[in-house]
């Protein structure tokens, strides 16, 4: 988790600033960001289906993530827009696409020992790796320049593959004696399960709206900081402050979920994002963006730890990996829609207009969630009095 998410950051966190300093316009950056987000969406769905179908988590992840070597090596040779269209598609589809598989792999392993509630503690190390990689890469780029970028990406991909080779493959619903699948896997049936389980569907819709704004702004942090006068080191610190608080909330997941319902934690995440965007809007400088990453990190930790565990528990044993990835794909669809919309707003108006737009959406959804929480609590209290 530590190394995988550190590797993901190397491209995901820095590519907008990298191509901006190459001279790409905001419109071109928006197109590349949209392609990248779309690639993640279809990648995680297709790869999850392969894992459920073949029951070969380790083999699939080794093959897909190895494509990252090609991306790392090719970065130095990419000069025109279609080069980056292709490279970011490959990175999103093959390297970031398996992120939900890595989480399902963790949950499957923990389930064997009845420890799936401790998922947050494991995933928290991914946040540590993400934040640590941001600081290291930001420092290296500031000290040595962008010519070391390709080496950094390539080496982290190789290191990730070495660690995957050391892991034990754990796949549910496999006859250990024969090594064959014990159940027939149907993507159509897995999709039907997602829409049939109402609590799961509601959670997906809530996270769809959350991610619509979050990814819409997150994908343009490089541009946002550049407009405010920041450089690679500022962007590195932004990602570090964004990831560091996730560690706390991921590690506290067990206690928090025992005390509060998942919707309550997600409502808190919306409030934190509202505060974050409001402060950035008021102060309008790179320091505000960097420091407010703390609120974004807490928000992501609260929401991700809640909804991922919640969906995994609701999903049928036969389709846990597929349901998680389908849910992630539906939620990821919000990014496919949000990234070009926010990119259009930024290119036509400015970053502040995009922040105002996101702020309005968060406030509306937060009010709806709060109303639902209050209604559910009143219904529960009424039922208790009747008993």
Reported residue count of the chain is: 387
Q: The pTM is what?
A: 0.70
The CATH class, in words, for 2-168+184-386 is mainly alpha
pLDDT in tens, 237-264: 888 888 777 777 777 766 776 677 778 8
Domain ranges within the chain, ordered by starting residue: 2-168+184-386
Quick one: pLDDT at residue 5? 93
Residues of the chain with pLDDT under 70: 117, 171-187, 253-254, 257-258, 379-387
Quick one: pLDDT at residue 187? 65
Measured CA to CA, the distance from residue 91 to residue 86 in angstroms comes to 9
Quick one: pLDDT at residue 184? 55
């Amino acid at each position: 988790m530590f190394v995988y998410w550190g590797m993901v950051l190397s491209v995901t966190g820095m590519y907008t600033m990298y191509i901006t300093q190459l001279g790409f316009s905001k419109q071109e950056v928006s197109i590349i960001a949209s392609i990248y987000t779309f690639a993640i969406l279809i990648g995680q769905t297709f790869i999850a289906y392969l894992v459920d179908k073949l029951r070969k988590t380790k083999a699939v992840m080794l093959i897909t993530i190895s494509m990252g070597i090609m991306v790392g090596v090719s970065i130095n040779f990419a000069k025109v827009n279609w080069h980056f269209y292709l490279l970011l598609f490959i990175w999103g589809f093959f390297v970031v696409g398996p992120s939900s598989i890595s989480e399902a792999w963790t949950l499957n392993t923990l389930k064997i020992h009845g420890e799936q509630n401790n998922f947050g503690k494991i995933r928290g190390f991914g946040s540590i790796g993400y934040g640590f990689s941001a600081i290291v890469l930001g420092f290296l780029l500031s000290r040595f320049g962008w010519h070391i970028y390709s080496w950094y990406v390539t080496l982290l991909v190789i290191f990730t593959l070495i660690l995957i080779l050391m892991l034990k493959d754990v796949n549910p619903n496999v006859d250990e004696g024969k090594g064959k699948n014990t159940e027939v896997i149907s993507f159509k049936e897995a999709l039907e399960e997602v829409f049939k389980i109402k609590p799961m569907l509601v959670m997906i819709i809530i996270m769809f709206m959350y991610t619509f704004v979050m990814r819409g702004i997150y994908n343009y942090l490089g541009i946002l900081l550049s407009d405010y006068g920041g450089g690679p080191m500022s962007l590195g610190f932004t990602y570090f402050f964004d990831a560091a608080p996730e560690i706390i909330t991921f590690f506290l997941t067990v206690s928090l979920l025992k005390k509060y319902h998942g919707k309550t934690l997600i409502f808190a995440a919306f409030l934190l994002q509202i505060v974050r965007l409001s402060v950035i809007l008021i102060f309008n400088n790179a320091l505000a963006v960097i420091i407010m990453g703390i609120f974004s990190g807490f928000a992501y930790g609260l929401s991700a730890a809640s909804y991922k565990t919640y969906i995994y528990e609701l999903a049928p044993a036969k389709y846990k990996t597929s349901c998680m990835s389908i849910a992630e794909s539906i939620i990821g669809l919000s990014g496919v829609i949000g990234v070009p919309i926010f990119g259009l707003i930024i290119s036509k108006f400015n970053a502040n207009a995009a922040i105002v737009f996101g702020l309005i959406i968060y406030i509306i959804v937060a009010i709806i969630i709060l109303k639902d929480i209050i209604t559910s609590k009143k219904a529960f209290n009424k039922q208790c009095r009747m008993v």
